[in-house]
Amino acid sequence: MKLSFISPDLELQPYIESLWVFQSLNGLPEADHSMAAPNGCPKLIFLCENGLVSETNGKVRISSRQNLDFVGTRDCSVRLQASPRKTSFIGIEFFPHGAFPVLGIPMSELCNEVWEFSVLFGKWGERVREVLINVESTDQKVSFIQKQLIQLLRKNVRENRLIEYCVKALKSADGRVSVQELERKTGYSRRYLDWLFNERVGLPPKVLAGIFRFQKFYRRWAEGQSFDLLKCDLYDYYYDQAHFSKEFKKMTGHSPREFLDISNEFGRRLTLR
């Protein structure tokens, strides 16, 4: 299993959190939980080789080889499976507020769902997919996708410094910024901020803050730290142990104790980019 990270094109860097290529000779290991936890980032996935089965809240979706899919912002985990043969796919993770300026589609319509690119963009989206199928090397595929995203970005031109400021404020504080504080700092009402986040992120600021708060501890798990070592600052982020366990289970499907016994190498490598 190999996960390689690529620096996005300079023009796309304000919008893309990470760009990576997954490669494996034997799919995703059956013994591995292979879970992607929510991080607030919508994604664009192209399956170069092999298909992918995803499961979220008991809902199963099968994505065929050479599918180009957009994954809306999630507030729950997704379990991934691939048959034991050569597998590769390209992943582009946008910043929480980064997909809207590029795609020009309200994120509230795409949240917690997977959409084929051709459904979102019709014949143009299907042509993009066909070119990707016929381009041979992975590097060429990555380059082509980025060029298409740049074209969309230049066409849409939907910048908004307010949403960028709010998302950065939430992330830099690991979710420990209340909506009331955002109201005070920006001068905008909660109602307007909720509307802005729903359109451009897909989730209200309170939910995104919860994801960032969870990610603080999830990253520590990925780094190999025990949750027992985190009790000293647990109450800076959660009301109590029960609150932490409830939120953790919502994000992963498992209690913290159960999760420590689960193998999730894919999720670990994706988190430690």
- The residues facing 217 across adjacent strands are none
Q: Residue 122: helix, strand or coil by DSSP?
A: helix
Q: Which CATH superfamily is domain 2-156 in?
A: Jelly Rolls (2.60.120.10)
Are 69 and 44 spatial neighbours (Cβ–Cβ below 8 Å)?
yes
Residues of the chain with CATH 2.60.120.10: 2-156
Residue 231 pLDDT: 66
To 10 degrees, the CA torsion angle through 62, 68, 74, 80? 40
Which residues of the chain form CATH 1.10.10.60? 161-271
- Write down the pLDDT at residue 256: 84
Mean pLDDT of the 75-102 span: 94
Convert the pLDDT of each residue in 183-240 to its tens digit: 999 999 999 999 999 999 999 999 999 999 999 988 888 888 776 656 667 878 888 8
Nearest Cα to Cα of residue 12 among 93, 131, 124, 116: 93
Q: Phi, psi (5° rounding) for residue 144?
A: -65, -45
**Residue 224 has what pLDDT?**
84
Token pair of 113, please?
A: 């769902």
Using 50, 70 and 90 to split pLDDT, how confident is the model at 58?
confident
Specify whether domain 161-271 bears CATH 3.30.930.10: no
Q: How far apart are CA 268 and CA 273, in angstroms?
A: 9
User: What is the DSSP code string of 172-209?
Assistant: HTTT---HHHHHHHH---HHHHHHHHHHHTSS-HHHHH
